[in-house]
Amino acid sequence: MLREKLKQKILSEPTKCIAYLKELVKFNRIYEGEVLAIIMAVIKNGPDQLTNRQWDVLLDKGLLPDLYVECDRCEDTIPWSEMYRAIFIARDYFCPFCRCIVYKKNERLLD
């Protein structure tokens, strides 16, 4: 289940996750006050301090389904460091590996 997987991913890679959360805050991608307050608490104190209710808000209203995605092509996880790019910059929802393959294929079409 994606939700439980996401929670484990946050807990197992807190530093990388926090770097992504900082990107979301910095570029004004968090619109809801309650979600923003919880994200700021995670940035400050780490994710293991959250109550069950805060986890519910963070996962269900904060990150899922729009701010945390898995690769559209291989369904592998996208590294935290690539999440912002996949959702907001490239907007392809691809992991770096698949992006590389797809773009190479497209380049070949133009040869």
Q: Kindly list the residues in this chain that would bind Zn ion in the complex (CB under 5 A).
A: 71, 73-74, 76, 95, 98
- Enumerate residues 6+ apart whose C-beta is below 8 A from 94: 71, 72, 73, 78, 86, 102
Of 18 and 82, the one with the shorter C-beta distance to Zn ion is 82
Closest separation between CB of residue 42 and Zn ion, Å? Answer: 26
Of 35 and 95, the one with the shorter C-beta distance to Zn ion is 95
> The tokens of 15 are what?
């530093």
Closest separation between CB of residue 97 and Zn ion, Å? Answer: 5
- Enumerate residues 6+ apart whose C-beta is below 8 A from 43: 18, 21, 22, 25
Of 17 and 71, the one with the shorter C-beta distance to Zn ion is 71
Task: Report the distance separating Cα 86 and Cα 91, nearest Å.
Answer: 5
Closest separation between CB of residue 71 and Zn ion, Å? Answer: 3
